[in-house]
Amino acid sequence: MRMPLSEFLANGDLKFVIILFLFLSIAIYYFIKKITSKEEQVHLNSKMNKLVTWSLFIGILSLMLGLLHSFYFISKVNGIANNLLFGGLANVIITPTLGVVNAMIIKLLSTPIAAKK
């Protein structure tokens, strides 16, 4: 049984999901600009590579904050059901997964485009 994409995105930490989609939107804008203007390709590729790095950093930050949040509430409760524990940990991993996928897409968009001869 798979988690629907809408539920996957809705269960992630919204502030990080918005930031990652903003990074992806900026990368798509740079990619379109790169296609139309071949002479700026190197400069735009370096900007997109910075977005890759920041997407990974945002993913790691969201993972750390999610784990801190989950373990804080686990420590406050004397006993916890396994389905609640694993459900919470599954939600913690959503935003880092989105960050890695986002970084892979942006990295593909930042590959140099060969000039036609």
With tokens 């373990």, the residue in question is: 71
List the alpha helices (DSSP H) in the chain: 5-11, 14-36, 41-76, 82-92, 94-109
Q: Digits of tens for pLDDT over the chain (117 positions)?
A: 566 666 656 666 788 888 999 999 999 999 999 988 877 888 999 999 999 999 999 999 988 888 887 777 777 777 777 777 777 777 788 889 999 999 999 999 998 877 655
- What pLDDT shows up at residue 8? 58
